[in-house]
Chain A
């Protein structure tokens, strides 16, 4: 039974895309089906999380081909948590989209593409096979291409060219290293790789493959110096699309990095973790400095995605149990907060007429409720106690200090400080400053927009105030990440 929950995390969104495509000529039915299937995915993700929490890792051997010969789905705590959070974000953004998208956007296959994207994201989280991971990456990539250009403005075309170009390079690198790893080991099952890779004698080629794989995932995760496609593209599409992208896509890259670094490339930790640590520090600092130079809602937030990715990579690079707990906790907190901030940016644009901070203002006087809803994720992002971001940053910095990583801890603290600067800039410009064109007349937004924002903000508060259960989940996920032998044993069974 548990196995079905894992398989359904892929099958539900795939079925949803097919069904919404069939209902393409009936707008109301299509929207209802789309939301229904997104809710179904959420229910399945909850059940999957429950199953993993209760019974340990869920492993499915497709068509009863035993690992490592068939395609394996393997869901540990981290995979289940990520699937759950992806389903929450997906549902929230689809609800928001019902109020945002116009008929022409719907006709450009918004709903089917969104569900294909979710299938790709969930597929990446539940698979236990490196080539299968590549396939899910491509599924979400091609869906994201389609979603990015819905609307067809000049800016979108421009952003899409850069997004597409860099992602094509990343894809090729990923495939190249898959080929090299297969040539070295003869297997692509991740659990089998965990056993075989430490025994590979030709470590030169292995490290080359590891570097290419990390570069490919790093490009998807938007780490320094491979992040330029993100701020070039993420401020151009529909708000609900950019919120899904901001919440989920880069995090799939981070998840993949965590998976391969902790499970497969355990042969030379000093070197790989050293590279990651430098990357993390530079990603944090360049991202936050880039944000400081911007004056548009979504461009500021885009640069902050880059900077926040640095924190997660930092946890992975330090690699102790506490650091991994911090990285997992950060991942969960960040997806909720970042998707929410993009949705709020959309409402702010609707009320104030622009996302350019110069041509915006007066939101606090016109819509104090929006100011409150912005306050929660924005200051959680900056790491104010008692919001969720505080605990995430606290754990990571404590882990860094435990390992005497003074400079990375300092970089993390400075980045947190500069994040406050960006958030107060948005606060001051968009909320406090009077609007340049006089008072705002529209002061309410459709409920389909405000409800998802309020729910996500409530998640942030709950994670912050009742951190203990979330920490327990993160601790278990981190413990599993730190024990690749157990992962291999769960997938391969009693294989020698």
Chain B
């Protein structure tokens, strides 16, 4: 299962890089969302996949059984998803504001902060 998911991570990252190379800020943000999913999936795979048992301690035992899923990557991914969501929603509002105030979402047309030198 891991190799298949690793390939999926690769595809997600490739698509994300392609989107992020665009000069359109909205496409860049879509790329970021895609990249975030690829990264989260890679953390999940890094914790090794096992689907035999949920990570619950059986009554009477004190440790998890050998077949239990790794709970840590799930916690990490959950944190990363929440953070990624926050960043993405800020960035989307920023894109909207850029469209409103600057009249463009193309980054090469945004020259207000760094005006081109007039000779």
Contact = CB atoms under 8 A, between A and B. Distances in A.
B46 A179 contact: yes
B110 A161 contact: yes
Given A149-B94, A165-B25, A158 B42 contact: no
Contacts of B87: 138, 141-142, 145, 168, 171
Q: Which of B32, B36, B76, B113 neighbours the largest number of chain A CB atoms within 10 Å of its CB? A: B113
A317 to B, nearest CB: 28
Interface in A145-166: 145-146, 149, 152, 154-162, 164-165
Interface string B16-51: 000010000100110010011001101101110000
A176 interface: yes
A334 interface: no
B107 A172 contact: no
A333 interface: no
Contacts of B80: 175
Contact of B113 (A155, A168, A180): A155
Contacts of A114: none
B28 A232 contact: no
Nearest to B45: A183
Contact of B42 (A155, A157, A176): A176
B39 A172 contact: yes
Contacts of B91: 164-165, 168
A397 interface: no
A86 B114 CA distance: 29
A131 B87 CA distance: 17
Contacts of B98: 157-158, 161
A94 interface: no
Contact of A168 (B32, B46, B97, B107): B32
Contacts of B76: 131, 178-179, 182
Interface of chain B: mostly helix, strand, loop or mixed: helix
B38 to A, nearest CB: 8
Contacts of B107: 161-162, 165
Contact of B94 (A164, A169, A233): A164
B9 to A, nearest CB: 9
Interface of chain A: mostly helix, strand, loop or mixed: helix
A135 interface: yes
Nearest to A234: B113
A175 B39 contact: yes
A235 interface: yes
B62 interface: no
Contacts of A172: 32, 35-36, 39
A178 B43 contact: yes
Interface residues of A, number: 36
Interface residues of B, number: 36
Contacts of A175: 39-40, 43, 80
Contacts of B102: 154, 157-158
A127 interface: no
Contacts of A135: 79, 83
Given A168-B87, A179-B42, A158 B113 contact: yes
A165 B102 CA distance: 17
A98 interface: no
Contacts of B46: 179-180, 182-183
Given A164-B94, A165-B107, A168-B87, A159 B39 contact: no
A415 interface: no
Interface in B52-82: 72-73, 76, 79-80
Nearest to B20: A169
Nearest to B83: A138
Nearest to B117: A293
Given A135-B79, A154-B101, A159 B47 contact: no
A417 to B, nearest CB: 25
B43 A157 contact: no
A20 interface: no
B86 interface: yes
Contacts of B79: 131, 135
A236 interface: yes
A180 B42 contact: yes
Contacts of B43: 175, 178-179, 182
Nearest to A179: B43
A183 B90 contact: no
B118 to A, nearest CB: 12
16 contacts: A145-B94, A155-B112, A156-B113, A157-B94, A157-B101, A158-B111, A158-B112, A160-B94, A161-B110, A168-B29, A172-B32, A176-B39, A182-B72, A182-B73, A183-B46, A231-B114
Nearest 6 Cβ contacts at the A-B interface: A183-B46, A179-B43, A158-B113, A159-B113, A158-B112, A155-B113
Given A142-B87, A142-B90, A161-B25, 8 more contacts: A141-B87, A145-B90, A157-B112, A165-B28, A178-B76, A179-B39, A182-B76, A232-B114
